[in-house]
Amino acid sequence: MRLRRAIGGAAVPMVDPFLLLDDFKSDDPADYAAGFPTHPHRGVETVTYMIEGAMEHRDSVGNRGRLGPGAAQWMTAGRGILHSEMPEQERGLMWGLQLWVNLPAAHKMVRPRYQDIAPAAIPEIAREKARVRLVAGTAWGAEGPVRGIDVGPTMLDVAIERGGTLDVAIGAEDSAFVYVLDGALRVGPDRREVRERELAVLGAGEVCRLACDATVGRAMVVAARAIGEPVARRGPFVMNTEEELGRAYEDHRTGRLVEGG
């Protein structure tokens, strides 16, 4: 799967509690045909947000479903899960985001939990020259469908027309970022331009003004409380110490990662 890594690479290793943001977007089936075959996770939450195309997901807890355009999936891997996401199309555009959200030490080994969110379950808020899809959190009197997540996330898919502005309040204890999907936005008081596939980290406790003077500006705005704990991460596992990471690999090797193993 060909993708662009906006968080989790050398340039931006993490924006606590966000450990990874991948943007997979291609209309060449050779780029996406391989999908994401079965692989494990522990100690982290993985979020998939589909923009175009469709994937089928399956996991070791027995969940199975289809993620189509506008759908979201919030998976709390907890103590361990095996899952796959494979394309459900042979041609056309495949475009989605994958975000990893850390779990605090006290909840890294919880039972896996999985929230499958249909496009219609995501409130759409119309503002002047702007529309917002509210995946998680509360904003403009609406509440997103994602529930019971430790770090209290806010996740917005924002589209602003030329000449429009949108003020987004960032919580006082939140880490936050804007990732532009399409077009360009002017972000914050200095109206810095953030273009397609670029990331801007926002300050806690500010009202961030997003303005569009391009043809369109569409972006994900994501915020959550920072955890502030040590992070030990390797491959699909995110723990607090190297020892815990070693145990995760050992449990995976011996089939004890998932419940009943």
Interacting residues with Mn ion (CB under 5 A): 46
| Residue nearer to Mn ion on the CB measure, 73 or 240 | 73
Q: How far is the CB of 247 from Mn ion (least distance, A)?
A: 19
Chain position carrying tokens 């975000």: 99
Q: How far is the CB of 46 from Mn ion (least distance, A)?
A: 5
Closest to 202 (Cα-Cα) out of 221, 186, 219, 216: 221
Q: How far is the CB of 115 from Mn ion (least distance, A)?
A: 15
Q: How far is the CB of 200 from Mn ion (least distance, A)?
A: 26
| Residue nearer to Mn ion on the CB measure, 75 or 185 | 75
Strands, E assignment, 103-239: 113-117, 124-127, 130-136, 138-139, 142-143, 154-161, 165-169, 174-187, 192-195, 199-202, 207-211, 216-225, 232-234, 237-239
For residues 232 and 245, give the distance between their C-alpha atoms in angstroms, rounded to a whole number: 7
| Residue nearer to Mn ion on the CB measure, 46 or 154 | 46
Q: How far is the CB of 236 from Mn ion (least distance, A)?
A: 6
What residue spans of 16-112 are helical by DSSP H?
A: 29-32
| Residue nearer to Mn ion on the CB measure, 45 or 174 | 45
The alpha carbon dihedral of 122, 39, 14, 246 has a sign of positive
Cβ burial 119-130 (10 Å sphere, 16+ → b, else e): eeebbebeeeeb
Q: How far is the CB of 27 from Mn ion (least distance, A)?
A: 23
| Residue nearer to Mn ion on the CB measure, 13 or 37 | 37
For residues 42 and 13, give the distance between their C-alpha atoms in angstroms, rounded to a whole number: 19
The torsion angles phi and psi of 29, rounded to 5 degrees, stand at: -55, -25
CB-based closest residue to Mn ion:
46
| Residue nearer to Mn ion on the CB measure, 81 or 160 | 81
For residues 186 and 189, give the distance between their C-alpha atoms in angstroms, rounded to a whole number: 9
